[in-house]
């Protein structure tokens, strides 16, 4: 189990689980953490992984993330989604990339939401430790990248990676908010980055009002 798009201000969160009887085929493919692979290599591995594994993917859009964040933490949201995928795959052992600082707490949060007994191995950097988690990270990342390309096609301009540390993403958001006085589609309104951008516009409006009143 792994995810792609936990932290971005723009675009969906993608959760993926892959199930296999043996990770030998994945080792033979030299499957690695998706962050250590080029986009071309991830795209090449994507169909090969699905030939030897059963994959389950959940794509959660920005609006749904915002709605769920109003009820729970991001860690609890991930645990709930991980549990949903585990329920579909019904493995004997599930290896998960821990989203919580406390690996054991993340494991317990998942187990509370799974309606059957399963052995969960929750580790930080699991996508570097276990080929099955590496495979899940590749599938999730390819889905996330495809979603970003679809958003760009819908909006008609480049939006960057969607992360708040991406200068292209921030430039896109700033320009959109300044021109339209609202957040663009597929933006997570509950993120601090979004709140700061909207706050800056509100401050600008107040400054304009004060200036006109003088």
d(C-alpha 75, C-alpha 100), whole Å: 6
d(C-alpha 58, C-alpha 79), whole Å: 13
3-state SS of the chain?
CEEECCCCCECCEEEEEEECCCCHHHHHCCCCCHHHCCHHHHHHHHHHHHHHCEEEEEEECHHHHHHHHCCCCHHHHHHHHHHHHHHHHCCCEEEEECCCCCHHHHHHHHHHHCCCCCEEEEECCHHHHCHHHHHHHHHHHHHHHHHHHHHHHHHCCCCCCCCCCCHHHHHHHHHHHHHHCCCCCCECCCCHHHHHHHHHHHHHHHHHHHHHHC
Percent of the chain with pLDDT over 90: 93
| pLDDT exceeds cutoff 70 at 204 | no
CATH architecture of 2-153: 2-Layer Sandwich (3.30)
Q: Kindly indicate the confidence band of residue 200, based on its pLDDT and cuts at 50, 70 and 90.
A: confident
- pTM, two decimals, is 0.92
CB environment 23-46: b (16+ within 10 A), e (fewer)? bebbeebebbbbeebeeeebeebb
Segment 61-97, tens digit of pLDDT = 999 999 999 999 999 999 999 999 999 999 999 999 9
Domain segments of the chain as ranges: 2-153, 156-213
Per-residue pLDDT, 206: 39
Is residue 35 within 8 Å of residue 161, measured between CB atoms?
no
d(C-alpha 143, C-alpha 137), whole Å: 10
Segment 45-65, tens digit of pLDDT = 999 999 999 999 999 999 999
Order of strands, edge to edge, in the sheet holding 54-60? 2-4, 13-19, 54-60
Q: Kindly indicate the confidence band of residue 203, based on its pLDDT and cuts at 50, 70 and 90.
A: low
| pLDDT exceeds cutoff 60 at 107 | yes
Q: Kindly indicate the confidence band of residue 211, based on its pLDDT and cuts at 50, 70 and 90.
A: very low
| pLDDT exceeds cutoff 60 at 127 | yes
| pLDDT exceeds cutoff 60 at 208 | no
The fold of the 156-213 domain, in CATH, is Arc Repressor Mutant, subunit A (1.10.10)
Q: Kindly indicate the confidence band of residue 207, based on its pLDDT and cuts at 50, 70 and 90.
A: very low
Q: What are phi and psi of 130, to 5 degrees?
A: -125, 125
Domains 2-153 and 156-213 share a fold: no
């Amino acid at each position: 189990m792994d995810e792609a798009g936990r932290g971005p201000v723009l675009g969906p969160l993608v959760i993926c689980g892959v199930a296999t009887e043996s990770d030998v085929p994945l080792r033979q493919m030299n499957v690695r953490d998706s962050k250590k692979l080029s986009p071309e290599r991830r795209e090449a591995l994507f169909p090969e992984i699905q030939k030897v594994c059963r994959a389950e993917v959940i794509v959660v859009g920005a609006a749904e993330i915002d709605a769920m964040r109003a009820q729970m933490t991001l860690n609890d949201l991930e645990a709930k989604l991980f549990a949903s995928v585990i329920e579909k795959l019904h493995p004997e052992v599930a290896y998960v990339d821990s989203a919580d600082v406390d690996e054991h707490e993340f494991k317990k949060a998942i187990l509370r939401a799974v309606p059957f007994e399963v052995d969960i191995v929750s580790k930080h950097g699991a996508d570097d430790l276990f080929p099955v988690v590496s495979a899940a990270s590749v599938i999730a990342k390819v889905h996330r990248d495809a979603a970003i390309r679809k958003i760009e096609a819908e909006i008609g301009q480049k939006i960057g990676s969607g992360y708040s540390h991406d200068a292209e993403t921030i430039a896109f958001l700033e320009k959109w908010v300044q021109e339209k006085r609202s957040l663009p589609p597929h933006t997570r309104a509950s993120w601090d980055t979004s709140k700061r951008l909207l706050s800056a516009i509100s401050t600008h409006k107040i400054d304009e009002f004060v200036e006109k009143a003088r």
